[in-house]
Amino acid sequence: MTESTMKPPKKALTPVKWMREHLFSTWYNSLLTVVVGYLVVTSVGPLLNWALFDANFQGADASDCSGAGACWLFISQRLNFFIYGFYPDELQWRVDIMFLLLAVAFVPQFIERFPGRKWFGIFGMTGLPVIGYFLIPGGNFGLETVESTKWGGLMLTLILAYIGILASLPIGVLLALGRRSEMPIIRGLSVVFIEVWRAVPLITVLFMASVMLPLFLPEGMNFEKLMRALIGITLWQSAYMAEVIRGGLQAIPRGQYEAADALGLGYWKKMGLVVLPQALKLVIPGIVNTFISLFKDTTLVLIIGLFDVLGTVQSTVTDPAWQNVAVEGYVFVAFCFWIFCFGISRYSQNLERKLDTGHKT
């Protein structure tokens, strides 16, 4: 075989040529480039000035902010509140441990060849919530009790999202199996449950949880506000989770069900040993995506009076001690959410691409 030594006729890739191809290929493209370029240039400059060059980073209180640029000082001064809410300063190490464990469990998931990263993930789904259950509220093992009304900030946001997703997973699996069940009544009940929750906005669910739940329960029995919000979020989220998992169940070829039947496995063994392991693996990207939207939706709890990260910032920007810091506060929260959501969505896209190729070849 003759190996070619000929090289393609080089299209000299000078910047001018690149620009002609990618920016000015036709008259309307040139026009677009000029207009969009103008908008970008005129907005980036002032934005950079505001956020960096004219901004104030150092100082003790509002009087140290010049007002010419962003007052980042506000963020650094109130950072503790934004992260821990009213959690007592001397006990914040307990929350820090949880942050650390969370990182230990999930950062390896982003690293392709991390040894035993599966086990870190399993720890994150099982051990982590158990430790958190004892550590954060305290009250056992000689730990001082911290009322859930004192929890707040980023910590509360993470708790809501994490428990919401974790608790809705098993309910979602059951609902998805129910919706695909051959028993008409089970199927009907699952469909009604799923469709009703999916049809209503989360706010109505949260209102319902905070207003109606106390009415539903027998007298004398009551939950604190956080618990009620969590119940509402979990029920609502499990309906979405069920639909994601149902997608995975449908993607498993009929042959797998038939093979399990042929091996003499009963319903639960067939589902638990053959179908669900495959289906759940397929829907990890879907679950991650629902996590992202739940994570963003947790901000709604501020409407029923919980102080999540947006809630803490919102309550501070109206603080008379600081003036005109709303934009800085919102930018800070936006940045927190953006980092999490963008990072996680990239992760799920990678996973999707990998699963995609895995199935085709």
| Whole-number Cα distances in Å, 247 to 90, 240, 242, 259, 288 | 47, 11, 9, 20, 14
Output DSSP code: residue 308: B
Q: Select the span of 49-57, 95-103, 217-225, 254-262 touching another protein (CB under 8 A).
A: 217-225
6 binds another protein (CB under 8 A): yes
**Smallest gap from residue 54 Cβ to another protein (A):** 17
341 binds another protein (CB under 8 A): yes
47 binds another protein (CB under 8 A): no
Q: Could you tell me which of 153, 152, 158, 149 has the C-alpha nearest to residue 75?
A: 153
| Whole-number Cα distances in Å, 227 to 140, 157, 201 | 19, 14, 19
Q: Return the number of the residue (48 or 122) whose C-beta is nearest another protein.
A: 48
23 binds another protein (CB under 8 A): yes
Output DSSP code: residue 49: I
347 binds another protein (CB under 8 A): no
217 binds another protein (CB under 8 A): yes
Contact with another protein (CB under 8 A) among 126, 204, 250, 350: 204
The backbone torsions φ and ψ at residue 151, rounded to the nearest 5 degrees and listed phi first, read -75, 150
**Smallest gap from residue 27 Cβ to another protein (A):** 12
Name beta bridge partners: 286: none
Q: What is the C-alpha separation between 59 and 74, in angstroms, rounded? A: 9
**Smallest gap from residue 93 Cβ to another protein (A):** 29
Give, as ranges, the residues between 289 and 328 that touch another protein (CB under 8 A): 292, 296-297, 299-300, 302-303, 310, 314, 317, 324, 326-327
Q: What is the C-alpha separation between 95 and 155, in angstroms, rounded? A: 8
Angle between helical axes of 153-179 and 284-297 (0-180°, round to 10): 130
195 binds another protein (CB under 8 A): yes
Residues 6+ apart with CB under 8 A from 353: none
Count of alpha carbons within 13 Å of 69, Cβ hemisphere only?
A: 16
22 binds another protein (CB under 8 A): yes
Number of residues binding to another protein, judged by CB under 8 A:
62
The token pair that represents 285 in the structure block: 């990207």
Q: Return the number of the residue (125 or 303) whose C-beta is nearest another protein.
A: 303
Residues making contact with another protein (CB under 8 A): 1-2, 4, 6-9, 22-23, 25, 29, 32-33, 36-37, 40, 182-186, 189, 195-196, 198-204, 207-208, 211-212, 214-219, 292, 296-297, 299-300, 302-303, 310, 314, 317, 324, 326-327, 330, 333-334, 337-338, 341-342, 345
